[in-house]
Amino acid sequence: MGRKDPSRHAYRKPRPCGLTVHPALGCSLGCVYCYVPEMGIRGVRVSELSGEELVREIRANPYFVEGRMGTFLAIGSVCEPLHPMVFEKTVEFIEALKALGNPIQVATKWRALEDPSPLREVNVLVSVCTIRHAEALEPGAPPPEERMELIKQLRKAGAYPYLFLRPIIPGVTEAEAAEILRVARDSGALGVVVGSLRVTKRIVERLKRSGVDCTEVLRRAPKLDSRQRYIRELDLKRRIMEEARRAGLTALGQACCASARSYGVPCAGLCWARGRCSSCGNACLSKLPDNVNEALRELGLEGEERDGRILVKGPVSNALVVRLETMARRVVEVVR
Ligand code: SF4
Ligand code: SF4
């Protein structure tokens, strides 16, 4: 791992959405609810890695499984990947990553592009959580109407665009959800991923300063300090997903399911086995690979499949468990 890569692509454990890939660290759009400043990241630093070096780093990651049935890759968790400052690096990374064959997801709040072709066959989540309060809450981002134009453009260009209705800001987002969903559907979104708000004490202070009524946020917020915590809003999430179905959109509760559905593979987050499946029609269970013994052999592990799970004789490292779960798309239990 070179000193050049502060984002630790060779070491990082995949998050539920996949292995996060960072063409830059930091973002200048200044969304009031953003958790990036809470991570101590200031300014925007474009990655110094080349596409080739990135692929080398990722291949060295002990959690990573290569290929279409492998680890999902997620770009855009700590930067705006389509911002002009970062775009060139994002395209370089996507071109290099495409050679691996793994599903690629990009999360963005940007507008239509001069040339959308690099995003062909990429799953793109376009974030909109408010139309009326966008100026106050997302002061540096393109207006939501322009983001909807990106959805339209991407659909035509052969990408897999989804609306990312996240974060749900209680008192704001649910009141506008029907309108946002309708516009996204009419723009060609293939579905919607609905996600919750994470807060810290400082995020709530910024929300208050933006002029948004924070009564509901505070009522639903857990303890407020410097740690990021989700607020309680499962009821709102369910209600918005229902609204999405009524609007004729496929509703997903997890970003990994959008990758799975886009690429027609079982969800690498094993959402169907972990109570997070919203029956999107991808029918993950019917697509499970028949490779349990082969995967165990390849990883040098002893174990067997029982009742849809894999029991593995321990001790086993966490990285091997994650790899086995990804390769065989089954929950792994370590037994002694
Ligand atoms: S676009 Fe995303 S990364 Fe940038 S400030 Fe907004 S929430 Fe943060
Ligand atoms: S079938 Fe369920 S687990 Fe699979 S992608 Fe759809 S929502 Fe996710």
Domain annotation covers residue 6: no
**126-160: b or e for each residue (b if 16 or more CB lie within 10 Å)?**
bbbbbeebbeebbeebbebeebbbbbbbbbebebb
pLDDT on residue 2 = 45
* Alpha carbon of 243 to ligand 2 centroid (Å): 18
Q: Which residues contact 248 (CB under 8 A, 6 or more apart)?
A: 185
- For residue 1, what pLDDT band results from cuts at 50, 70 and 90? very low
Does residue 176 sit in the same domain as residue 254?
A: yes
User: Would the pLDDT of 3 be above 90?
Assistant: no
pLDDT digits (tens, 9 = 90+) for 202-243: 999 999 999 999 999 999 999 999 999 999 999 999 999 999
Does residue 77 sit in the same domain as residue 124?
A: yes
Does residue 277 sit in the same domain as residue 320?
A: no
Backbone angles phi, psi at 316, to 5 degrees: -135, 140
The finding on whether 261 has its CB within 6 A of some atom of ligand 2 is: yes
The finding on whether 82 has its CB within 6 A of some atom of ligand 1 is: no
Which pair of structure tokens corresponds to residue 195? 């996600």
Does residue 150 sit in the same domain as residue 245?
A: yes
Q: What integer is the mean pLDDT of 307-330?
A: 97
The finding on whether 311 has its CB within 6 A of some atom of ligand 1 is: no
Does residue 201 sit in the same domain as residue 314?
A: no
* Alpha carbon of 165 to ligand 2 centroid (Å): 18
Domain annotation covers residue 5: no
User: Would the pLDDT of 10 be above 50?
Assistant: yes
- Sign (positive/negative) of CA torsion 226, 228, 232, 237? positive
The number of distinct structural domains making up the chain is 2
Domain annotation covers residue 8: no
Domain annotation covers residue 9: no
The finding on whether 85 has its CB within 6 A of some atom of ligand 1 is: no
Does residue 183 sit in the same domain as residue 259?
A: yes
pLDDT digits (tens, 9 = 90+) for 44-99: 999 999 999 999 999 999 999 999 999 999 999 999 999 999 999 999 999 999 99
User: Would the pLDDT of 11 be above 80?
Assistant: yes
In angstroms, the CA 92 to CA 95 distance is 5
Does residue 298 sit in the same domain as residue 222?
A: no
Query: Which amino acid is located at 312 in the chain?
Result: V
- For residue 318, what pLDDT band results from cuts at 50, 70 and 90? very high
Counting residues of the chain whose pLDDT is more than 90, the rounded percentage is 96
Q: What integer is the mean pLDDT of 254-277?
A: 97
pLDDT digits (tens, 9 = 90+) for 27-41: 999 999 999 999 999
Does residue 259 sit in the same domain as residue 331?
A: no
**19, 183, 264, 266 from 37: Cα distances, Å:** 21, 31, 35, 34
Mean pLDDT of the chain: 96
Domain annotation covers residue 1: no
Rounded to the nearest 10 degrees, what angle do helices 234-246 and 173-187 cross at?
30
Q: Which of 274, 218, 200, 270 is nearest to 39 (CA)?
A: 200
Domain annotation covers residue 14: no
* Alpha carbon of 286 to ligand 1 centroid (Å): 37
First to last CA, the chain: 34
Instruction: Specify the CATH number for the domain of residue 139.
Output: 3.20.20.70
- For residue 16, what pLDDT band results from cuts at 50, 70 and 90? confident
Does residue 178 sit in the same domain as residue 318?
A: no
Q: Which of 271, 287, 303 is the last residue of a domain?
A: 287
In angstroms, the CA 193 to CA 198 distance is 16
Does residue 281 sit in the same domain as residue 296?
A: no
pLDDT digits (tens, 9 = 90+) for 152-181: 999 999 999 999 999 999 999 999 999 999
Does residue 235 sit in the same domain as residue 331?
A: no
pLDDT on residue 298 = 97
- Find out whether 37 and 89 touch, Cβ atoms under 8 Å: no
In angstroms, the CA 333 to CA 310 distance is 6
The finding on whether 278 has its CB within 6 A of some atom of ligand 2 is: yes
The finding on whether 280 has its CB within 6 A of some atom of ligand 2 is: yes
Domain annotation covers residue 245: yes
Tokens 């997801």 belong to residue:
105
Q: What integer is the mean pLDDT of 96-120?
A: 98
- For residue 4, what pLDDT band results from cuts at 50, 70 and 90? low
* 201: containing domain: 19-287
Does residue 207 sit in the same domain as residue 299?
A: no
Domain annotation covers residue 12: no
pLDDT on residue 17 = 87
- For residue 261, what pLDDT band results from cuts at 50, 70 and 90? very high
- Find out whether 274 and 299 touch, Cβ atoms under 8 Å: no
pLDDT on residue 336 = 86
